[in-house]
Amino acid sequence: MNRQRWTAPLAALATALVLSLGSRVAFAAEANSIPSNPIASNQATGADDTAAAAPIPETYPEVINETSSAGVPMTAQPIPGPSIVSQAAVVMDLNTGTVVYAKDPLVEHYPASLTKMMTALLALQDGHLTDKVTVSQDAASQPPDKLYFVPGEEKTLEQMLYGLLLISANDAAVAIAEHYGGSVAGFAQMMNAEAKTLGANHTHFDNPNGLPDPNHVTTAYDLALIARAAMQYPEFRKIVDTKSYAWHGEAWQSQLTNINQMLYSYPGCIGIKTGFTSVAHETLAVAARRGHDTFLAVLLDAPTNYAIDHDATTLLNFAFDHYHTQTVVHRGQVVGHVRSATGADLPLFATTDVVATVENGHPIQPSERLQLRPLTTAEELALHVHAADLRVSVPGQAGVIVPVDTHVPMATPALALPTTLWWRRWPLWSGMAAAALVAGYVLRRRQVRRRRLRYGVSWDDALIRRDTP
C-alpha cells in the first residue's frame, strides 16, 4: 500500500525532472552549438541538405601548411601529379582552399557553361528560392541547351536553378540575369564584382551563360574559387547533386537528367557543373567526398567529354590517395585560461577552426603560442571581449592568428550549468518548480481521496474538511 501511495508522486516528479533536463539539453544545443565549415559539417553528419539556406560564413577557416605560388595557395607538401590531356586544371581541398595539383592555373581560357556557377551563386545571394522569375523575349530566344520557355512564362528561382544547373539551360541563365541584374549587362557587372571579391582576379564575364565571347574569360584557379563559394550554399549543393528533376513548362515537359556524367561514374561525386562550346571545348568542375575529405577538380579545354572525365577521375584519385584535411584547432576548443579582474580563472575558446591540407601519413605538428590581453571589467566579459590571440604556425611558415574569447559557445554536457548569469539557467529552475508543483498537487489529491473514503463524503466536502483529524 505504501509503495502504491508514493508511486504516482515519484513518477510525476521524475517526469518533471526529465522535462527540465530536456529543456536544458535543448537550451545547450541552441545556445552552445558550434557551427563549422559547411562542407566538413555536411560530411560529418551525412544529413540531407534542405531548401532553407544555412548561414554562410563571413570568412573561411584559418589555413596553415600552404605556400603561395603566383597567388595560388599551394600545399606545402607537394607531390608530383599525373599527366593529363586538359590544357589547364587545379585540384583544391574544399575544406581549406589549398591547391594540391595545378596545371597552368592562371592561364586564361573560355569557361563555357561553368559560367553558370557564378550565375547561380549571385541568384542565391540576392534572391530566395520562391522568387518568381519572368521570362523575356530575349531569354526565350537563347540557343539550346534550354527549357523552351514561352515569353512571359513565370517560374520560381528554384525551378530556374534546376534547369540552369542540371541541363545547363541558357534561357534560364538570361532570365535569372535580367531578374536580379535588370539586364544581362547589369548582371555581368555584378558577376565581375563578385569575382573580384572572391579573389578571381583573372576573370571577366560578359554574359550569364558562357556562350562564346572573346572577352568572356577566366582561369582554372578562379573557377575553383567561384565553385567553392557556391558550394557553401546547401541549395546549390542539393541541386548539383540531383540526378533528375521533373520539369513542367508551358510548352515543354520533361524529366531533366543531370548531364554531369561524373555523378554516375565516380564514387562519392557530389556535383557540380559541365560546359562545352566550339571555342572553349570541354570544361568541367567536379567535386567528390570520401569520409571527411572533399576535393574539387576544375579542368579546362579538353578535346572530348571522355578525355575530360578521364582526367578528372585521375586527378581526384590523386588527391584522395595523397592528401586529407587535418583540423589543428577546433572552434570552441579551450586553448588556455585567463584570470579576470575579480580573480576568476576563465577558459579561453578559439573563435574559428584552423585547418590544413596534409599528406596522408604525414600529419603536421604545429606550434601554438597564446598572447594574452588583460581583462578589466565584468562588462567586457559580458560583451565577448577577445581576451587573447592564439598564433598557430608550422616551422618555416608565417602561421595564422586566431582570436580567442572567454564566451565562445561550447557544446557542454547536458547536465552542465552555464558559467554565466543566473537567468540563463531558467530551463532548470522552471523544471524544478514544475516538479514541485506536480508533486504537491498529486499528494494533495491523494490526501483528499483518503479522507473522502474514510468519511464517505463528496469531493467538495472532503476539501472543506481538510483540517478534520
- Rounded Cα distance between 341 and 72, Å, is 45
- Rounded Cα distance between 153 and 290, Å, is 41
Residue recorded with cell 530536456: 22
C-alpha cell at 325: 584535411
- Rounded Cα distance between 218 and 284, Å, is 13
User: How far is CA 398 from each of CA 324, 326, 336, 395, 411, rounded to the nearest angstrom?
Assistant: 22, 18, 22, 8, 31
The DSSP call for residue 433 is H
Give the 3-state secondary structure of residue 322. helix
β-partners of residue 253 are 248
Q: Select which of 116, 146, 238, 273 is catalytic.
A: 116
| Active-site annotation holds for 273 | no
C-alpha cell at 147: 527549357
| Active-site annotation holds for 168 | yes
Please answer whether residues 109 and 308 qualify as being in contact, where contact means their C-beta atoms are separated by less than 8 angstroms. Answer: no
Q: Is 344 exposed, middle or buried (0-12, 13-18, 19+ CB in 10 A)?
A: middle
At 219, phi and psi to the nearest 5? -130, 165
Nearest to 258 by CA among 236, 273, 280: 273
**Cα 18–Cα 24–Cα 27 angle in degrees, nearest 5:** 145
Please list, in sequence order, all residues whose beta carbon lies within 8 angstroms of the beta carbon of residue 421, skipping any fewer than 6 positions away. Answer: none
Q: Select which of 103, 146, 168, 238 is catalytic.
A: 168
Q: Is 34 exposed, middle or buried (0-12, 13-18, 19+ CB in 10 A)?
A: middle
| Active-site annotation holds for 116 | yes
* Active-site amino acid positions: 113, 116, 168
